[in-house]
Chains A and B, each alone.
Chain A
Amino acid sequence: MLNTTMNWIDDRTGLRSLARRVLDRPIPGGARWGHALGFALASTLAVDLVTGLLLMSTYSPSSSTAWGSVYYITYQMDLGWFVRGLHRFGSFGAVVLGGLFLLRLVLIGAYRAPREVHWWLAAGTFLLILGLGVTGNILPWDQRGYWAAMVETNIAGATPVVGPAIKKVILGGSEFGNQTITRFHALHVSVLPGLLVLCGWAYAVLFGKDGYHGPAGSETAEPYWPRQALYDLAASSAALGVLAALTLAFHGYSLDAPADPSSSDYPARPEWYFLPLNQLLHVFEGKEFIATMVIPGGIVTGLLLLPLLDKVIPRKFAYIASCSFMMTVALAAFVLIGVAVYKDARSETFRKDRAKADADAARAIELATLNGVPPEGSAYVLGLDPLHRGGEIFGKKCQGCHSLGDRKADEPSAPDLKGYGSLAWVRGLLENPGSPAYFGKTPQCNGMSKWKKSSQLSAEELDRVAAYVASFATIPADVTPAEWLDDPRVKEHPGRELYEGECAQCHTLGVPGDASERIQPAPDLFAWGSPRWAARMIREPGSPSHYGYLEKKKAQKMPSFGGQLTDADISTLVRFIKGDYPGSGKGSR
């Protein structure tokens, strides 16, 4: 039964005779490990194809969703990290094996007549592999891919005359965006792989016609099956083993923070196999077209013309010239990669920038895990994060004068904001208002120190007042002073009476009293330390309820940031200062 079916299939398709033709194909000079290189390359590309199809079932190509989908693949799906890692390391493997394959074709002399077309197909395959690397690298839309593509497309854009137009077409506009991703995606998943399969198929057909290239004058021949088959499969398995080992060792391929076009210190680098070109850019500074056009163009032209060299110079010299050309290119690439890696490893700035990029990536992944990606898109994972965005603003706007615990001020001239609004902060202030962490650096705000000199409160009493004042920070934004003062929990607060006796002599509580009754002017403390009080302080520190009185004294005060920061930024900043963010242990999600 089985036999009849097989016979029928064979009769209609000729599969069996095809298999026999392949398995019995004679190898002049016998089976060789070197012959297995092509099979290893083909099987590595097959692994890339399979893993690529798997990734495609999850990946979502748009600037708002790409990062999220790759995050989901890498950190949420069963073995997603492995599939993606194998795809990525597989692409590296294909570049290496493709290069070695070309090198071997030249060294064994299998690139010239009658195999010129073999060679062109092989060279085309190699260029397609590089193209797949470039187009694939940008797809996660993370910092690494984004900035690498920026460098690479700018190289294309540097082509004289047509460059800018080419760049605009590739990017689908003058800026990186949705059109860039969809275009690179289309190239990466259909156009380039389609051409690659076509090249591979044509190569196989020619190979069927011309057979294995044996050493000159070999008389004996051995059939493909089984020895060469074993070599082929062993080489492929070894290649896959190395790629899987790399994937396991690095636990897949890392994902950088979502692409941020505004970042100023991301250490952009192209993929490692483009490092030589990048390095040449430095070598030919000022004459960059040499690095971006002349040299790569020369190499590609050289590759294409190699088999025709025989026609103009004697065969022997042509062979030597070809070998030297290939060896020089390979060696130069190797050395330049080495130089690039060595320089980066020694560069203090690179390491610092890279460490910051890694911290951003870790934070983005932590947030995506805690919170998911916001519907607005992956750019908002970090863009809305108080720790990341708020910390950035703090560094730019506040850190000149304020410190925040470990983040030291450049020139401390204002209170430390660590724990601002908390019981500990208030208690510390009441203990020693003149310390550098409080008003020690701002002699114009000496009211608290004056009070401290005359105050008789015991430690226990200070605890109670501090608890009362710290409770102001929790007053909800929609509660009015009258409502709040009427709340029985406020009325019966054990610190209230002390507050009325000590603090109310200077500070009002939302009810502006007669200024002349106050011993000296001081900020109103209603909702002090709450997000709204803090936001007002940042927006307009000179408002009457805050430090307006300093204006009258013509004393130095905090500048207002109302015009410089958006409302969203101010509330992000306040959340950062108050430690109210995901992962801080106390923040809301």
Chain B
Amino acid sequence: MPNRRDFYRLGAIALGNLFALAVAVPGVKYLLDPLGKSSGGGEFRTLTRLGRLKVGEPQAFSILSERRDAWVKYPTEPVGSVWLVRQPEGSKEPVVALSAECPHLSCPVPLAPDRKSFLCPCHQANFTLEGARINEVAARGMDRLPVELSGDADPEVRVRFERFQPQSAEKKPLA
């Protein structure tokens, strides 16, 4: 009976494939799990109060953050630093946050000795106090970080720290 034989044959092949797929599909999804996990840009962290910042005097703050490694959470430790630059009264943003990581090759950028600009000690990349390029060493200006102000009379300044790819002309978040 060819019909019956065909049924067995096709049935066996179908069931075999079904069985393999039922294990393989969840298995592949499980293995690819890391693709779905973002390293997360972090949260806004309070650094200071607006009133403590003075126009023309950028101040450096460490970013303290917790680190998660799969299931383990490590306690808070410094992961980077930012410059907070108070803007003159009436500007659109009252304060600008600049990542202290040099957009050239990621050295930490301090103020120049005259405190009128930022000057990277590694390859002399030079930036204005707003972070714009003065020379061509870096491919872009210093990276601005998102700032949030609380609603208080003397608002808290909150910054979300993020890292960006060095060297490229555009500001691209690191993975």
Partner of B11, one of A54, A65, A230, A373: A230
CA distance A233 to B22 in the complex (A): 13
B contact residues, total (Cβ < 8 Å)? 26
Shortest Cβ gap from B47 to chain A (Å):
19
A43 at interface, CB cutoff 8 A = yes
Closest A residue, CB atoms, query B16: A233
Given contacts A226-B8, A230-B12, contact A372 B19 (CB under 8 A): no
Q: Could you list 18 further interchain pairs (A-B, Cβ under 8 angstroms) beyond the known A83-B26, A86-B23, A374-B72?
A: A43-B19, A57-B31, A68-B72, A78-B30, A78-B33, A80-B30, A225-B12, A226-B5, A226-B9, A229-B8, A230-B15, A232-B12, A234-B11, A372-B72, A372-B73, A373-B73, A374-B73, A375-B75
Shortest Cβ gap from B77 to chain A (Å):
11
Chain B neighbourhood of A372, CB < 8 A: 68, 71-73
Evaluate contact between A78 and B36: CB separation under 8 angstroms. yes
Given contacts A83-B27, A372-B68, contact A233 B73 (CB under 8 A): no
Shortest Cβ gap from A226 to chain B (Å):
4
CA distance A236 to B5 in the complex (A): 20
Given contacts A82-B26, A83-B26, contact A237 B18 (CB under 8 A): yes
Partner of B71, one of A57, A227, A373: A373
Shortest Cβ gap from B5 to chain A (Å):
6
A17 at interface, CB cutoff 8 A = no
CA distance A69 to B27 in the complex (A): 17
Q: Which of B51-86 contact A (CB under 8 A)?
A: 68, 70-75
CA distance A226 to B12 in the complex (A): 7
Chain A neighbourhood of B29, CB < 8 A: 78-79
CA distance A229 to B19 in the complex (A): 13
Chain A neighbourhood of B31, CB < 8 A: 54, 57
Binary B-proximity of A232-267 (CB < 8 A = 1, otherwise 0) = 111011001000100000000000000000000000
Which interface class (under 10, 10 to 19, 20 to 34, 35 or more) fits A? Answer: 35 or more
Chain B neighbourhood of A375, CB < 8 A: 72-75
Chain B neighbourhood of A47, CB < 8 A: 23
Evaluate contact between A69 and B71: CB separation under 8 angstroms. yes
Evaluate contact between A371 and B73: CB separation under 8 angstroms. yes
Evaluate contact between A77 and B33: CB separation under 8 angstroms. yes
Chain B neighbourhood of A234, CB < 8 A: 11, 15
Evaluate contact between B19 and A237: CB separation under 8 angstroms. yes
CA distance A43 to B11 in the complex (A): 17
Chain B neighbourhood of A72, CB < 8 A: 70-71
Chain B neighbourhood of A79, CB < 8 A: 26, 29-30, 33
Q: Which of A359-391 contact B (CB under 8 A)?
A: 368, 371-375
Evaluate contact between B19 and A240: CB separation under 8 angstroms. yes
Evaluate contact between A233 and B71: CB separation under 8 angstroms. no
B32 at interface, CB cutoff 8 A = yes
Chain B neighbourhood of A371, CB < 8 A: 73
Evaluate contact between A373 and B72: CB separation under 8 angstroms. yes
CA distance A234 to B12 in the complex (A): 8
CA distance A227 to B75 in the complex (A): 62
Q: Count CB-based A-B contacts (< 8 Å).
A: 89
Partner of B32, one of A65, A78, A232, A374: A78
Evaluate contact between A236 and B19: CB separation under 8 angstroms. yes
Binary B-proximity of A58-86 (CB < 8 A = 1, otherwise 0) = 00000001001101100011111011001
Q: Which of A37-57 contact B (CB under 8 A)?
A: 43, 47, 50-51, 54, 57
Chain B neighbourhood of A77, CB < 8 A: 30, 33
Shortest Cβ gap from B52 to chain A (Å):
18
Chain B neighbourhood of A232, CB < 8 A: 12
CA distance A80 to B8 in the complex (A): 35
Chain A neighbourhood of B12, CB < 8 A: 225-226, 229-230, 232-233
Q: Which of A437-456 contact B (CB under 8 A)?
A: none
CA distance A375 to B77 in the complex (A): 13
Shortest Cβ gap from B126 to chain A (Å):
41
Binary B-proximity of A126-152 (CB < 8 A = 1, otherwise 0) = 000000000000000000000000000
Shortest Cβ gap from B21 to chain A (Å):
11
CA distance A244 to B19 in the complex (A): 11
Evaluate contact between B22 and A244: CB separation under 8 angstroms. yes
Given contacts A57-B31, A83-B27, A226-B9, contact A237 B72 (CB under 8 A): no
Given contacts A226-B9, A234-B11, A373-B73, contact A80 B33 (CB under 8 A): yes
Chain B neighbourhood of A82, CB < 8 A: 26, 30
Closest A residue, CB atoms, query B24: A50
CA distance A375 to B15 in the complex (A): 46
- Please provide the 4 A-B residue pairs with the shortest distance between their CB atoms, ordered closest to farther: A372-B73, A68-B71, A226-B8, A233-B15
Evaluate contact between B30 and A50: CB separation under 8 angstroms. no
Chain A neighbourhood of B18, CB < 8 A: 237
Shortest Cβ gap from A225 to chain B (Å):
8
CA distance A82 to B29 in the complex (A): 11
CA distance A374 to B75 in the complex (A): 8
Interface centre among B12, B70, B71, B75 (most CB of A within 10 A): B71
CA distance A80 to B36 in the complex (A): 13
Chain B neighbourhood of A78, CB < 8 A: 29-30, 32-33, 36
Closest B residue, CB atoms, query A241: B22
Q: Which of B64-116 contact A (CB under 8 A)?
A: 68, 70-75
Evaluate contact between B71 and A51: CB separation under 8 angstroms. no
CA distance A65 to B71 in the complex (A): 9
18 sample A-B contacts, Cβ–Cβ < 8 Å, listed by A number = A54-B30, A68-B72, A69-B70, A77-B30, A79-B26, A79-B29, A79-B33, A82-B26, A83-B26, A225-B12, A230-B15, A233-B11, A233-B12, A237-B18, A373-B71, A373-B73, A375-B73, A375-B75
